[in-house]
Structures are given as structure tokens and as C-alpha cells.
Amino acid sequence: MAEFPAESVWLTLTALVFGLVIGSFLNVVIGRFPLMLQRQWRQECAALQASSAEAAATPTKAEPFNLAYPPSRCPKCNHKIAWYDNIPVVSWLLLKAKCRNCRTGISARYPLIELLTGVVFALLAWYGGITIPSLVYMGLACLLICMFFIDADEMILPDQMTYLMLWSGLLFTLYHGHIPLADAVIGAAAGYLSLWSVYWAFKLLTGKEGMGYGDFKLLAAFGAWAGYQMLPVIVIAAAASGAVLGIIYQQINKQRQGQPIPFGPFLICGGVIAMLWGEQILHGYWQWLMGGSY
């Protein structure tokens, strides 16, 4: 594969535009993937609850629903969205954040996700060029963005995404060698077992579930990418961001006070902090602990 150099303006702008387009697709994934899972679960439950072999043998045919079909439509008036109304960020601005047909408001989250993806792609291209590692990190960014918003909306972390992140992290470590493979394997195991232990301790003490299994798998995936040394940084940063953002969320949504808050988005914040600045944080901590002699 040909590699393109870092700090290239034209390459960065190309990555920005490409990221905007990918961000538009991520909006589709975030909106539809949980619904696809729910439809799959309902079909599986219906098959298990079939009252006879004949009912099980002749299931009702469901209308196709996936990431490509049906075409995007306004959820209010069901008007099909034309291609010129689906240009990332630009169409939202030109339409003044309203559906062309019924004038229902369009959430600002759509262009923000597109901008977030575009900016991340542009930064990766600026600092790393277009290389295999930078492309891998772009894919990782897409996974994290999808999981962040899916968990925030539906309180689920799909296995398809957490497992993909976990195994790709181990394989990338094997290929790239940015950390020793043993650190990645130990990080994956320790990440899962640490939250698994907290889950069961909390459940035995209170009789309630404090988090989901998706959180265990997500921390295991970060352990595979960053190594076991970064797990404390991830958890502490996640707890800190959760405390701050949780208070803000409760103040904004006062009618939902007392409701459970997904931990996945905070784990993702902590994981990103650890992957970007984890070594500096650990070095500063040990330097402080040793009185500046570290």
C-alpha cells in the first residue's frame, strides 16, 4: 500500500471530506443498528414461542430492514430524503435544520457527528499521513463514535462492535507492535475481569445490577489496544468524566433524575484520554508520588 506523508494540507482536507461522508453513514448505523438487533431478538423469541411445528416452519416474512434499506425518510412525514438533502452538514445548514416537506426540526446531533468524524479523520491524516496504522485508527474512531451514541440512546453496547474492537486491537498489536502483545492480552483479560468482579460484588451486596456485560467487553477491548498499564487511567478518567457529565445530564434532564445512566460513553471518554495522554498521566503520577525523583 502506498503511504502518503503527514502534515499535508490537501491530504488533510481530503480526509476531512471523507470523514464527513463516513460520519453521515455513522448516523445511519447509530439510528438503525439497535432497531435491527431488536427485530432480530423479536424474531428469535417468536421462533422459540412457536406453538407448533407448523408455525415454526412457516414464519411470517418481515419487511427488509438494514443499513441500506429502506432509504432514509423523515420520521415525521415519511418523506423520502433526496440526495441533495443528505449532503453532510451542508444540507442541514441549507434546510435551516428542518425537513423540506413538513418543516419538522432536524436534530443538530446529525451534523455534529459528521463534523466529529471529519475532524478526527483530518487530525489522524495530519499527524500520521495515510498509512495502515492511521486507517486502522480511523476505523477504531468510527467504532467508538457508534458505541458512544448507541449506548447513550439505548443503553446497549452491541457485541458485534465490542468484539470487533477487541480482536482488531489484538491483531493490530501483533502487526504494529506499539505495545508488547503480552501487555495487550493481559490488558484484555484484566479489563474484563476487573469490571466483572465489581459487577458481582455490587450485585451480591445490593441485589441490583450496576452495569452491563457490554461494559466488561468494552474495557477488555481498550485493554487490548492500550495494554494493562492503562486500565487504571481508563477507569479513573471514566469515573471522573461520569461524575461531571452525569451531574450536567441530571440537571438538564431533571425529569429523568434517578434513572440509570449508561457507563459506556464514560468508558469511551476514559479510553480515549488514556490512549492519547495515558503515558504522560502515569509519568506525572509517579513523579508526584516519588516527590519529583521519578
Average pLDDT, the chain: 88
Q: What confidence tier does 291 reach under pLDDT thresholds 50, 70, 90?
A: confident
pLDDT in tens, 163-210: 999 999 999 999 998 999 999 999 999 999 999 999 999 889 888 887
Query: pTM of the predicted model, to two decimals?
Result: 0.90
Shared-domain flag, residues 283 and 193 = yes
One-letter amino acid identity for 50? Answer: A
pLDDT band at residue 58 under the 50/70/90 scheme: low
Report if residue 6 sits inside a domain. yes
Residue 138 lies in a domain: no
pLDDT of 6? 75
Going by pLDDT thresholds of 50, 70 and 90, the confidence category of residue 1 is low
Average pLDDT over residues 17-22: 97
pLDDT digits (tens, 9 = 90+) for 247-258: 776 776 665 566
User: Which range marks the domain in which residue 98 is found?
Assistant: 1-131
Q: Quick: pLDDT tens for 95-143.
A: 999 998 898 999 999 999 999 999 999 999 999 999 999 999 999 999 9
Question: Is 50 in a helix, a strand, or coil?
Answer: coil
Within-domain flag for 139: no
| pLDDT the model gives residue 90 | 94
**What percent of the chain lies above the pLDDT cut of 70?**
91
Q: Quick check: 68 pLDDT over 90?
A: no
177 and 223, same domain (yes or no): yes
State the amino acid at position 32 in one-letter form: R
Within this chain, do residues 1 and 98 fall inside the same structural domain, yes or no? yes
| pLDDT at residue number 45 | 85
Same domain for 102 and 174, yes or no, is: no
**Structure-model confidence comparison of residues 291 and 9, the more confident one:** 9
The residue among 80, 98, 131 that closes a domain is: 131
1-6: list long-range contacts, CB under 8 Å, 24+ apart: 1/131, 1/132, 3/129, 3/130, 3/131, 3/132, 4/129, 4/130, 4/131, 5/129, 6/125, 6/126, 6/127, 6/128, 6/129
In a domain, 149, yes or no: no
**73 in any annotated domain:** yes
Measured distance CA(268)–CA(147) in Å, rounded: 8
8 within some domain: yes
The stretch 267-278 carries a mean pLDDT of: 95
Q: Examine residue 144 and state whether it is found in any structural domain, yes or no.
A: no
Q: In this structure, are 111 and 183 located in the same domain?
A: no
pLDDT-derived band at 53 (thresholds 50, 70, 90) equals low
pLDDT at 51 over 70: no
**275 and 165 within one domain:** yes
Give the pLDDT score at 215: 95
Return the closest-CA partner of residue 218 out of 135, 133, 117, 150. Answer: 150
Residues 126 and 159 occupy one common structural domain: no
65-79, 164-178, 220-234: which has the minimum mean pLDDT?
65-79
Asked whether residue 190 falls in the same domain as residue 251, the answer is yes
Residue 73 has phi, psi (to 5 degrees) of: -135, 160
Across 79-98, b (16+ Cβ under 10 Å) vs e yields bebeeebeebbebbeeeeee
Q: Provide the domain count of the chain.
A: 2
